[in-house]
Chains A and B, each alone.
Chain A
Amino acid sequence: MSLHARLVVTRPAFALDLALEVAAGEVVALLGPNGAGKTTALRALAGLTAMSPGGRITLDGHDLHHLPADRRPIGVVFQDYLLFPHLSALDNVAFGPRCQGVPKAEARRAAAALLDRVGLAGHAAARPGRLSGGQAQRVALARALAVRPRLLLLDEPLAALDAHTRLEIRSGLRHHLAGFNGATVLVTHDPLDAMVLADRLVVIEHGAVVQQGTPGEVARHPRTDYVARLVGLNLYRGTARGVGVQVGELLLSTSERLTGPAFVAFPPAAVALYRSRPDGSPRNLWPARVGGVERHGDHVRVHLDGPISAFADITPAALADLDLTPGREVWASVKATETHAYPA
């Protein structure tokens, strides 16, 4: 393991306490809702936010937590990039090496090589104000890599970009992260960024880790409502009794056989809606009330209240046929084979 950390930041209205381990060459994404403590964790790693007693950071066997930011072997890509507006792209990238005592000519040569690597050789002389968002992001990445960090920290690296640029820059960033041999921690609230860029996700809520695993594991087995919403699943916690999971008053039949505390998850598209009770159905069936209806891509997402609250995705045609308005009583059903149960 390259990075071992326990990040502890205690404030009057907020407490962050999480353990983080990142191997050399590994990319870990800290994923969480706003206010979960992701950025605070990143700032603590960078040395920009003081840690409370109990916090420690060890990188390649050396303690970092007692060092100020300028003495840590880190590179940071900030959310708004924070390129120095009075310096050219080249001098921004050369800034770190210059601080490390590299002679000016050599630092500029190295910076030019890095800018070339991120495809910006032609923009070396440009001031940050003249760069597009995507170009600024790449200069920021080159600037962070120029100090040859052992730990690379990225704070919402794609949040400031428009959708089109984002797609392109995301794949470019993935490529550059793959070529970096130190540990990488990236903070994002976008599940797609996290899934594409990271080898492992660490989901944070209220200053603590609620789930971690590979993107695939987290997407298949969400353990909190936040993660379930991120990956687009209905999620319930209940007690498994063989072929079903008791969730409140409702027994949901599942294809897996389990006992004890368990989660059940199913996608909104697996939920079918009926105006009247369907006959002789072997499915999970429950009465629900329409809470709201919203457009969701090329389908319609229906919010259901009832014994369990759920999302159902239906076609616009089905919405018209069923005449679903908020407050209407419907029957909802899900096939057992479309559900997925796993131990809690």
Chain B
Amino acid sequence: MLVGPALLGLAFLVLPLAGLLVRAPWATLPARLAEPQVLEALRLSLLSATVATAGCLLLGVPLAWLLARVEFPGRRLVRALVTVPLVLPPVVGGVALLLVLGRRGLVGEWLAATFGVTLPFTTAGVIVAEAFVAMPFLVISVEGALRGADQRYEEAAATLGASRWTVFRRVTLPMIMPGVIAGAVLCWARALGEFGATITFAGNFPGTTRTMPLAVYLALETEPEAAIVLSLVLLAVSVVILASLRDRWVSTP
């Protein structure tokens, strides 16, 4: 009774990926990969996902620390808010970002007037959209690591004269590093695959905002073979991430 649906479920998950491999134009693959548009999209994707992850680390680790270590009223509400982008349809996230950071947005107008910075339809906009969608993955992972870490080590560091910052830098952070790395990798993978918020907030301009997922979608309508090649690249990246997570970080928290 259980094995049948289980096998069906497995086939459902694996078959599409197998189809991708079967239909891939292996003969023309090297040439297709070397096309300027492909390389451009790949470069843009890797760059924006990496910068977005760096930004998430810079803001998300302290946020996770706040949620895990500081008692304040409304902490549960804040934690719930942090996870909203996780369940929010990315397109909605893109619309929300436009309303706040767009040229006429609440913060965007001020940014444009004060610093002359406009985010929508720029590479910076891509990074902001990706970070918005991906940061919850990092925060949740790091917060979990912080909760799992033995706080008595932090107390021991305090009795040795370490300030809150020193405790965090020299004791907490090294001890939760596996969680931070796992969170960063998940965050990066999510940013790399981001589509909805990116196309809504940053548009689809080759060279500046057309990342791999956008290029895949576009290519599917004009030349499906190119879409398959681009998809294969993303699939390869995903598999590498999964393998690295399993072997090095997930199994030894």
**A85: B residues at CB distance < 8 A:** 175
**B170: A residues at CB distance < 8 A:** 84, 95
Docked pose: A47 CA to B155 CA in angstroms: 10
A78 touches B162 (CB 8 A): no
Which residues of chain B in 141-175 are interfacial with respect to chain A, using CB atoms and an 8 Å cutoff? 150, 152-153, 155-163, 166, 170-171, 174-175
B156 touches A100 (CB 8 A): no
Q: A48-B155, A78-B152, A99-B166 are in contact. Are A86 and B175 (CB under 8 A)?
A: yes
B162 touches A75 (CB 8 A): no
A76 interface residue, CB < 8 Å from B?
A: yes
Docked pose: A76 CA to B158 CA in angstroms: 10
Pick from B153, B158, B160: contact of A48, CB below 8 A: B158
Distance (whole angstroms) from the CB of A41 to the closest CB of chain B: 15
Chain B: residues with Cβ within 8 Å of the partner, total of 17
B174 touches A96 (CB 8 A): no
Q: A84-B171, A85-B175 are in contact. Are A96 and B161 (CB under 8 A)?
A: yes
Q: A82-B152, A82-B153 are in contact. Are A75 and B171 (CB under 8 A)?
A: no
**B161: A residues at CB distance < 8 A:** 70-71, 96, 99-100, 147
Docked pose: A84 CA to B163 CA in angstroms: 16
Give the residue name and chain of the A residue nearest to B177 (CB). A86
Complex interface bits, A76-90 against B, C-beta within 8 A gives 1, otherwise 0? 101010101110000
A46 interface residue, CB < 8 Å from B?
A: yes
Complex interface bits, A96-117 against B, C-beta within 8 A gives 1, otherwise 0? 1001100000000000000000
Pick from B156, B166, B174: contact of A82, CB below 8 A: B156
Q: Secondary structure of the B side of the interface? A: helix
Give the residue name and chain of the A residue nearest to B175 (CB). A86
Distance (whole angstroms) from the CB of A92 to the closest CB of chain B: 9
Docked pose: A84 CA to B169 CA in angstroms: 13
Docked pose: A74 CA to B156 CA in angstroms: 11
**A82: B residues at CB distance < 8 A:** 150, 152-153, 155-156
Docked pose: A84 CA to B152 CA in angstroms: 10
A74 touches B162 (CB 8 A): no
A86 touches B174 (CB 8 A): yes
Interface residues on A, range: 20 to 34
Give the residue name and chain of the B residue nearest to A100 (CB). B161
Q: Which of A69, A72, A96 has the most CB of B within 10 A?
A: A69
Which residues of chain A in 127-156 are interfacial with respect to chain B, using CB atoms and an 8 Å cutoff? 143-144, 146-147
A70 touches B155 (CB 8 A): no
Distance (whole angstroms) from the CB of B243 to the closest CB of chain A: 25
B157 touches A95 (CB 8 A): yes
Docked pose: A48 CA to B174 CA in angstroms: 22
Docked pose: A143 CA to B159 CA in angstroms: 11
**B153: A residues at CB distance < 8 A:** 82, 84
A46 touches B157 (CB 8 A): no
Distance (whole angstroms) from the CB of A139 to the closest CB of chain B: 12
**A316: B residues at CB distance < 8 A:** none
Distance (whole angstroms) from the CB of B97 to the closest CB of chain A: 39
A147 touches B156 (CB 8 A): no
Pick from B150, B159, B171, B175: contact of A74, CB below 8 A: B159
A68 interface residue, CB < 8 Å from B?
A: yes
A70 touches B171 (CB 8 A): no
Pick from A76, A86, A146: contact of B156, CB below 8 A: A76
B160 touches A96 (CB 8 A): yes
Give the residue name and chain of the B residue nearest to A96 (CB). B160
Q: A84-B171, A85-B175 are in contact. Are A69 and B155 (CB under 8 A)?
A: yes
Docked pose: A165 CA to B10 CA in angstroms: 55
Which residues of chain A in 41-76 are interfacial with respect to chain B, using CB atoms and an 8 Å cutoff? 46-48, 68-72, 74-76
A76 touches B159 (CB 8 A): yes
Known: A84-B156, A96-B160. 19 other contacts (CB 8 A): A47-B159, A48-B155, A48-B158, A69-B155, A69-B159, A70-B158, A70-B159, A70-B161, A71-B161, A76-B156, A78-B156, A82-B152, A84-B170, A86-B174, A86-B175, A95-B160, A99-B157, A99-B166, A146-B160
9 contacts between A and B (CB under 8 A): A48-B155, A48-B158, A69-B159, A75-B159, A75-B160, A82-B153, A84-B157, A85-B175, A95-B160
Would you list the 8 A-B pairs with minimal beta carbon distance, nearest first?
A96-B160, A99-B161, A82-B156, A69-B158, A76-B159, A86-B174, A99-B162, A70-B158
